[in-house]
Structure 1
């Protein structure tokens, strides 16, 4: 075997042995359907909501308590002008203070000027952690 052929084979073997690692590193977290921790139950129970910025690439607002049957999780970015919506517990809706848009617990527009719903996520409590399903992002 010539020196050049040997070097090519060694290089090819090195690349092929690294291929599974490279594929795993490039695979998006969102494709796995994994649940990701966004906070603790204590933090959620303290305020009735948990705002996480840039998780993993978006903002997430989880509303509820450890006693809630269902947690509500949305991207709190108003679809009208990009302001952050706030949870109004009494009215059970999300309100944008910038221009007055209101959104239901399912993210649907209840009052404009927004015309597009908020993006929603699936959330749950497991042990002492609040989890959001990453494949919904």
Structure 2
């Protein structure tokens, strides 16, 4: 085998092995984490403490029993906002914009209302929402 043929085969092999990664990166579908099997269905799940929430007015947990959760508010507030912060467009993590009272995706500019509904695309599906409350000194959520 000549050196030129060998290099061509190595290059072809590299391209072929990179193809699945390129296809996955271009996929527009995202998945929302599902609750773990140890989580009781329909039950309240602890995602943090009221002290953690009160520090910044936000509490983000990536590995809760119900999946990723972003809780916004203060422990003394009656209306806590809780969503899965994974943007439904490409899977980036949205951030709460308190002054505008909306969630914004830093990757492609999608915006969502406090109720998770799409305000501005390119996202087409709303964020998953949770019911949240303070129970003792714990922040608990359950799927809405």
Instruction: Quickly name the TM-score band, shorter chain normalised.
Output: 0.7 to 0.9
Greater relative CO (CA pairs within 8 A, separation 6+): 1
| Contact persistence 2:103–2:112 (CA under 8 A) | yes
5+ residue gaps, structure 2, are: 1-36
- From 117, 122, 132, the equivalent of 2:141 is 132
Helix, strand or coil at the partner of 2:51? helix
- Equivalent residue, structure 2, for 1:34: 43
Tell me which structure has the larger Cα radius of gyration. Answer: 1
5+ residue gaps, structure 1, are: 1-26
1:84 aligns with 2:90: no
What aligned pairs does 1:60-99 form with structure 2 within 5 A after superposition?
A: 60-99=69-108
What aligned pairs does 1:96-115 form with structure 2 within 5 A after superposition?
A: 96-115=105-124
Q: Count matched residues.
A: 108
**Aligned-residue RMSD, C-alpha:** 1.5
TM-score (normalizing by structure 1): 0.74
Mapped partners of 2:134, 2:88: distance in 1: 27
- Equivalent residue, structure 1, for 2:13: none
Deviant stretches of 4+, over 6 Å:
none
TM-score (normalizing by structure 2): 0.71
